[in-house]
Chains A and B, each alone.
Chain A
Amino acid sequence: MSNTLIKIRDVYFSWDGKRDIYAGVDLDIPEGKITAIMGPSGTGKTTLLRLIGGQLKPTSGSVEVAGQEIPKLKRKELYLARRKMGMLFQSGALLTDLNVFENIAFPIREHYEFSESMIRDIVLMKLELVGLRGARQLMPAELSGGMKRRVALARAIALDPFLMMYDEPFTGLDPVTLGTIVSLIKELNDALGLTSVIVSHDIGETFSIADHVCILSEGKVMATGSPEELKNSDSAFVKQFVNGHPDGPMPFHFPADEYTQDLLAGKDL
């Protein structure tokens, strides 16, 4: 049994104080494994990554990463904690005025006073891992979507984090690039001894590499377990989500007034 790296306890979160995105979420993320956070769109999967990274604070509850209570950290402590976290954004979020090499060198230059030759070596090693050593002089605008994501991945591991978070890493990729990203996440996790958290709603790809899956819906954790356990689950909700049925416990319709009443009202209420 591996240790727990991230402990989330009774977390409540709301953007506007009215509708709860999270209403008492409890979650453990084991160290050294790939954990997938899944759920329908709009359930706040990305929000969870932002809570772990301290970019958002929960309304109440505890988010503990490697023994540190993230929402209670002071600014300096939070920035120190983030040096050990890497995050891959859906868009890649590369700095558009810097080329590939400088993008990866950016966090190293910001935090360490290494010599240029050392920075060059580190950057080339990271680029080699994602197979883009030859693209180091290109600007972000010259890269395809998949290449951008690989460069962003190299940048996210530039500071040698122990925790990697992936925000929808499989969205909008062609099948070849998709396969590359899937195997890269798995290889990096195993080779660098990382703990990985993947936020996604792509069942096939995520289940193929995840050790542990957690499904969120309606502000709560609806199911957890290994991909195999979830595939064989008896829960109607899990079945609907895993098999992609349009209707079931997860309603197709957003909550609204009764249909005929709404049509006959003649105006917006």
Chain B
Amino acid sequence: MNGLFNFLQSIGAFVIDSLASLGRSVSFLINVLLGFKEVVLRPSLLVREIYSVGVLSLLIIFFSAIFVGMVVSLLGYTILVDFGGEESLGLLVSLTLVRELAPVLGALLFSGRAGSALTAEIGLMKATEQLASMEMMAVDPVRRIVAPRFFAGLISLPILTIIFMAVGVYSGYLVGSEWKGVDAGAFWSQIQNKVEFRHDIINGIIKSIVFAFVVTWIAVYQGYNAMPTSEGVSRATTNSVVYSALAILGLDFVLTAIMFAS
């Protein structure tokens, strides 16, 4: 009887904790969004953060896109060639990248490269009392530190995703056409005929905007709420990457079902 009571109690505590945590993160998000005005009034803060989270992520996005595009093209060719359908390689590569791989892999890489850095930076600022000292200088750290980083992430990831799409498709073309001998005209004309701008490309970009929102929100929230100790910051950084990955993959299924299932 006692065991059952404890079990029910632990479920109750878990639900209450989860709801409290959700409430805190939503109220934190509202505060961050209210910082939009400050970000607009001081674009230099935003530009600095876009450089830090966006421009510095370019290299990893660029090289990942090259390899992913090449692998998809090579694998696609080996399957299509058995059926004599290698002229559809361009369609296969572009749809795979635009609809799925560029938004998802781009977001996963972004969370590992930029999201973790955001969490660690904000967490360490908290641990070294820099955020508290800003509060005492009458500067709101959520508006001054967190908001520019959040909006920089929101802007950067969709742009990085578009770059991923373009680089991936082109590297796929190089493998398919230059190496495996697929006709270049067929490769590009299949893309031109079958890939719809609104249905495929825009939906891919919408996915990346949703992922950018969630990944950056998780990263800044984890950093801001990190325990102000070295262990706390390390745990927050791990949580940031793990939660982001789960959120990206879970949301990807939902978005794919809404966008492409019918």
For A91, list chain B residues within 8 Å (CB).
Answer: 128-129
CA distance A90 to B136 in the complex (A): 14
Query: B257 interface residue, CB < 8 Å from A?
Result: no
For A75, list chain B residues within 8 Å (CB).
Answer: 140
Give the nearest-CB partner of A50 in chain B: B132
Query: A222 interface residue, CB < 8 Å from B?
Result: no
Query: B133 interface residue, CB < 8 Å from A?
Result: yes
A55 touches B132 (CB 8 A): yes
CA distance A111 to B140 in the complex (A): 12
B130 touches A111 (CB 8 A): no
For B132, list chain A residues within 8 Å (CB).
Answer: 55, 89, 93
Question: B188 CB to closest chain A CB, in angstroms?
Answer: 47
Query: A110 interface residue, CB < 8 Å from B?
Result: yes
For A106, list chain B residues within 8 Å (CB).
Answer: 137, 139
Chain B, residues 123-166, CB within 8 Å of chain A (1/0): the string is: 00000111011011111100010000000000000000000000
CA distance A53 to B128 in the complex (A): 18
Give the nearest-CB partner of A82 in chain B: B138
Q: In A140-164, which residues have CB < 8 Å from any B CB?
A: 152, 155-156, 158-159
CA distance A106 to B128 in the complex (A): 17
Query: A87 interface residue, CB < 8 Å from B?
Result: yes
B137 touches A96 (CB 8 A): no
For A159, list chain B residues within 8 Å (CB).
Answer: 137-138
Chain A, residues 236-248, CB within 8 Å of chain B (1/0): the string is: 0000000000000
Interface size class of A (residues with CB under 8 A): 20 to 34
For B139, list chain A residues within 8 Å (CB).
Answer: 106-107, 110
CA distance A152 to B137 in the complex (A): 11
Chain A, residues 90-107, CB within 8 Å of chain B (1/0): the string is: 110111100000000011
For B140, list chain A residues within 8 Å (CB).
Answer: 75, 79
For A173, list chain B residues within 8 Å (CB).
Answer: none
For B129, list chain A residues within 8 Å (CB).
Answer: 89-91, 93
Identify A85's interface contact among B128, B130, B136, B144, CB under 8 A.
B136
Give the nearest-CB partner of B131 in chain A: A93
A111 touches B133 (CB 8 A): no
B135 touches A55 (CB 8 A): yes
Question: A77 CB to closest chain B CB, in angstroms?
Answer: 11
Query: A83 interface residue, CB < 8 Å from B?
Result: yes
Question: A151 CB to closest chain B CB, in angstroms?
Answer: 12
Query: A73 interface residue, CB < 8 Å from B?
Result: no
Question: A196 CB to closest chain B CB, in angstroms?
Answer: 15
B133, B136, B144 — which one has the most chain A CB atoms within 10 A of its CB? B136
B133 touches A82 (CB 8 A): no
A87 touches B136 (CB 8 A): yes
Identify B138's interface contact among A79, A89, A93, A95, CB under 8 A.
A79
For B144, list chain A residues within 8 Å (CB).
Answer: 110
Identify A80's interface contact among B135, B137, B138, CB under 8 A.
B138
For A89, list chain B residues within 8 Å (CB).
Answer: 129, 132-133
Identify B135's interface contact among A82, A110, A156, CB under 8 A.
A82
CA distance A155 to B130 in the complex (A): 13
Q: Could you list which residues of chain B lie within 8 angstroms of chain A, going by C-beta atoms? A: 128-130, 132-133, 135-140, 144
The 9 closest A-B CB pairs, nearest first, are: A93-B133, A93-B129, A82-B138, A107-B137, A87-B136, A83-B138, A79-B138, A89-B129, A110-B139
What are 5 A-B contacts defined by CB distance under 8 Å? A79-B140, A82-B138, A87-B136, A93-B132, A96-B130
